[in-house]
Amino acid sequence: MSRFLNRQYEKLEPYTPGEQPKTDGLIKLNTNENPYEPSPRARRVFCEEQVSKLMLYPDPEAAELVNAVADYYGLEKEQVIAGNGSDEILAFCFMAFKSPSDKVYFPEPSYGFYKVYSDVFLLKSNPIPLKEDLRIDPEKYKNLDGTIILANPNAPTGIALNLEDIEDILKTNESNLVIIDEAYVDFGAKSCVPFLRKYDNLLIVQTFSKSRSLAGARVGFAMGNKELIADLNRIKFSFNPYNLNRLSVQAAAAAIRDDEYFQKTRKKIIETRTWISAELEALGFTVLPSSANFIFVKSGSLSGKDYFTGLRERNILVRHFEKEPVSDFVRITIGKEEDMRTLLSVTKDLLTERNRR
Amino acid sequence: MSRFLNRQYEKLEPYTPGEQPKTDGLIKLNTNENPYEPSPRARRVFCEEQVSKLMLYPDPEAAELVNAVADYYGLEKEQVIAGNGSDEILAFCFMAFKSPSDKVYFPEPSYGFYKVYSDVFLLKSNPIPLKEDLRIDPEKYKNLDGTIILANPNAPTGIALNLEDIEDILKTNESNLVIIDEAYVDFGAKSCVPFLRKYDNLLIVQTFSKSRSLAGARVGFAMGNKELIADLNRIKFSFNPYNLNRLSVQAAAAAIRDDEYFQKTRKKIIETRTWISAELEALGFTVLPSSANFIFVKSGSLSGKDYFTGLRERNILVRHFEKEPVSDFVRITIGKEEDMRTLLSVTKDLLTERNRR
């Protein structure tokens, strides 16, 4: 820490991203990346003609992408803002919006960044524990006195809320902004976009990093009423107006227009998820019902840490959170079928070893 | 404005970027982009092999790039942080660092974003007017009581400070952080990097958007002592850890290693600048002595606004700032020689028309 650091950040605990290994040969199932390449239409953007224009700034409004998202969801372009990944969009949200109480409510556990953003922007974080079955209890989000942020499906559980419960939360929190983080929505949950017409306290955040296979391009976006989006633009244009790579804007626009590839790849992921979930259950695992591109699983005999470590030693990276009530679980990204077969076979070996001891 | 906006931003005036035209056929000399394509080594990064890995996250530490920058400047890797353009790095600086007085000092005019960042992060901005000749007066920056930020060369004037003056400012401000924004340094000024060994109150910000022809890739970086860089990383990992496109990391690393292309293109820009400056002076223009990839010029007969508008009507975009003491000037980015020849010829036409009236 330098002597110039703003003292308000002295005790700030930054987010810890999942490991990004620099060596090859690992099966990487730890950061919920899509195992399939970006859409061919998105890849075609990176042609000599476009690459040789990289000395030019991007359009700070990312109009091509904003228009493509608006078209896709049937919104007006003033209802969409694009960002450098949904993390930047979320950071802008925590910066831009503040309830009179300064409070922010979110599930615990959920995406670990919600707490970090609350800390950075001096908001009072109010984590609401999950129910014993690790589901969000919608009752606990009614009639609150602060901003609400919910990941749907939730992470790291993968469990989705149904839209009726979300609508009840929106209805009973008329004076509160409700942010729904739909990073994983395309893998089996339902988007809240239709509610945008009815509720002006709703803001939806999505990303191209998961279902659109573009984590490396850094593209996320938010959808809401025009006033909310104008507020976010006010922050963006006061922080980093040129926040998207030129080619990322074009690639993301191409990706969202390629519905055929999107449907094909997400279907494969959902099928693989169904299959691996059944296989792991047959081995005595508890597998939470996932609507995401990952599963959250607990072995009947291995501790979460031992399972994580055993897989790591055999070159399979998954994610383990050393905290209650989820320390017995590991989060496994759904990879290609062959990678999941390897995971399954290594898992069987680990269980056999465990039984021998 | 929505009813949820944090009231502290109610009166925030965002930065206004230069126009990014969506039509072709314009000569774009308004946002200080490099007229030359990125280095061939940088362009080669965008190959099918790398593009087809875009479903993977980038390395959040951008180690390949950080190492390349550290090598280039003879620093340790812990002395470098990469960001999504130097704007993001500057935003992180204003977020991270705060003097006990909350004051920030910078020249006026200079890069317009310094005022915006001060406002966003609730710092007290103290603009220090330039001297009558539009130079920074180094005397006014000695023994201050707050953070100092200086663009060197300054924008929009293009005039550089000499290193002795900067060293005096560093020496007489031991308790203050001094940020030197070297966005344009490669076009004729001297970098402060050698001072990093002697002064722990120095932080240097640079960008790949100008001399490295990568404005569209969004890459900037800061250099300082390890504690300052650790502070900036603390903010980055609490805001947007994956802040660089995967391919931007690689392209920027390749660009900084391609010294031959860098020397060739910046030499061409400097030569074009020398030539066009002399031509405009011969037409009665005042041309400030530029160490940047732009010139700041004032006609003897056309107002700044009329010159700007006349060029715009003839499809040449330059930048005009409607404020004193620079409203008589326009800022012209140094483009390719053929574009500058067109500018010159259009300028002659405008002067002739003017004289006819």
Question: Are the beta carbons of A242 and B46 separated by less than 8 Å?
Answer: no
Judged on CB neighbours under 10 Å (0-12, 13-18, 19+), B64 is: middle
Q: Which of A4, A237, A244 sits opposite B15 (nearest CB)?
A: A237
- Do A200 and A268 fall into the same domain? no
For A162-188, what is the mean pLDDT?
98
Locate B3 and state its tokens.
């009813």
State how far residue B268 is from chain A, nearest Cα, in angstroms: 16
Q: Can you give the pLDDT at residue B152?
A: 98
Contacts of A17 in chain B (CB under 8 A): 57, 60, 237, 241-242
B2 assigned to some structural domain:
no
pLDDT in tens, A211-267: 999 999 999 999 999 999 999 999 999 999 999 999 999 999 999 999 999 999 999
Q: Which of A2, A14, A243 sits opposite B227 (nearest CB)?
A: A2
pLDDT in tens, B313-339: 999 999 999 999 999 999 999 999 999
Question: Are the beta carbons of A1 and B227 separated by less than 8 Å?
Answer: yes
pLDDT band at residue A22 under the 50/70/90 scheme: confident
Assembly ipTM: 0.96
- Do A245 and A292 fall into the same domain? no
For B126-135, what is the mean pLDDT?
97
Q: Which of B14, B60, B234 sits opposite A9 (nearest CB)?
A: B234
- Do B93 and B217 fall into the same domain? yes
Q: Taking 90 as the threshold, does the pLDDT of residue A23 lie above it?
A: no
B15 assigned to some structural domain:
no
B8 assigned to some structural domain:
no
B211 assigned to some structural domain:
yes
**End position of a domain, from candidates B196, B223, B258:** B258
Best residue of B125, B218, B229, B317 to probe chain A, by most A CBs closer than 10 Å: B218
Number of domains in chain B: 2
Question: Are the beta carbons of B55 and A213 separated by less than 8 Å?
Answer: yes
State how far residue A248 is from chain B, nearest Cα, in angstroms: 8
A102 assigned to some structural domain:
yes
Q: Which of B209, B228, B240 sits opposite A91 (nearest CB)?
A: B240
Provide the residue range defining the domain that includes B342: 26-37+260-352
Locate B332 and state its tokens.
């012209």
For A323-347, what is the mean pLDDT?
97
CATH of the domain at B340: 3.90.1150.10
Mean pLDDT of chain A, nearest integer: 97
- Do A275 and A220 fall into the same domain? no
Contacts of B99 in chain A (CB under 8 A): 4
Question: Are the beta carbons of B38 and A20 separated by less than 8 Å?
Answer: no
Those residues with Cβ within 8 angstroms of residue B309's Cβ, 6 or more apart along the chain or in another chain: none
Q: Can you give the pLDDT at residue A24?
A: 77
Q: Strand A329-333 relative to strand B294-298: parallel, antiparallel, unpaired?
A: unpaired
**End position of a domain, from candidates B210, B236, B258:** B258
Q: Which of A1, A54, A98 sits opposite B217 (nearest CB)?
A: A54
Ramachandran region, residue A320 (left: φ > 0; alpha: ψ -120 to 50; beta: rest): beta
- Do B175 and B270 fall into the same domain? no
Judged on CB neighbours under 10 Å (0-12, 13-18, 19+), B336 is: middle
Mean pLDDT of chain B, nearest integer: 97
- What's the per-residue H, E or C state across chain B? CCCCECHHHCCCCCCCCCCCCCCCCCEECCCCCCCCCCCHHHHCCCCHHHHCCCCCCCCCCCHHHHHHHHHHHCCCHHHEEEECHHHHHHHHHHHHECCCCCEEEEEECCCCHHHHHHHHCCCEEEEEECCCCCCCCHHHHCCCCCEEEEECCCCCCCCCCCHHHHHHHHHCCCCCCEEEECCCHHHCCCCCHHHHHCCCCEEEEEECCCCCCCHHHCCEEEEECHHHHHHHHHHHCCCCCCCCCHHHHHHHHHHHHCHHHHHHHHHHHHHHHHHHHHHHHHCCCEECCCCCCEEEEECCCCCHHHHHHHHHHCCEECECCCCCCCCCEEEEECCCHHHHHHHHHHHHHHHHHHHHC
Nearest chain A residue to B5 by CA distance is A97
- Do A330 and A199 fall into the same domain? no
- Do B238 and B290 fall into the same domain? no
Contacts of A34 in chain B (CB under 8 A): 55
- Do B253 and B265 fall into the same domain? no
- Do A225 and A182 fall into the same domain? yes
Best residue of A245, A250, A317 to probe chain B, by most B CBs closer than 10 Å: A245
pLDDT band at residue B354 under the 50/70/90 scheme: confident
Q: Can you give the pLDDT at residue A266?
A: 98
pLDDT band at residue B357 under the 50/70/90 scheme: confident
- Do A75 and A117 fall into the same domain? yes
- Do A176 and A215 fall into the same domain? yes
For B93-122, what is the mean pLDDT?
97
Question: Are the beta carbons of A214 and B5 separated by less than 8 Å?
Answer: no
For B114-131, what is the mean pLDDT?
97
Q: Which of A33, A60, A231 sits opposite B56 (nearest CB)?
A: A33
Q: Can you give the pLDDT at residue A301?
A: 93
Q: Can you give the pLDDT at residue B20?
A: 79
pLDDT band at residue B19 under the 50/70/90 scheme: confident
CATH of the domain at A113: 3.40.640.10
A9 assigned to some structural domain:
no
For B19-48, what is the mean pLDDT?
92
Q: Can you give the pLDDT at residue B1?
A: 92
B208 assigned to some structural domain:
yes
- Do B74 and B103 fall into the same domain? yes
Q: Taking 90 as the threshold, does the pLDDT of residue B24 lie above it?
A: no
For residues B136 and B129, what is the distance between their CA atoms, to the nearest angstrom? 8
For residues A261 and A233, what is the distance between their CA atoms, to the nearest angstrom? 31
**End position of a domain, from candidates A207, A229, A257:** A257
Q: Can you give the pLDDT at residue B346?
A: 98
For residues A174 and A277, the answer to whether their CB atoms sit within 8 Å is: no
Contacts of B87 in chain A (CB under 8 A): 239-242
State how far residue B355 is from chain A, nearest Cα, in angstroms: 36
A126 assigned to some structural domain:
yes
Give the side-chain half-sphere CA count within 13 A for A60.
Answer: 20
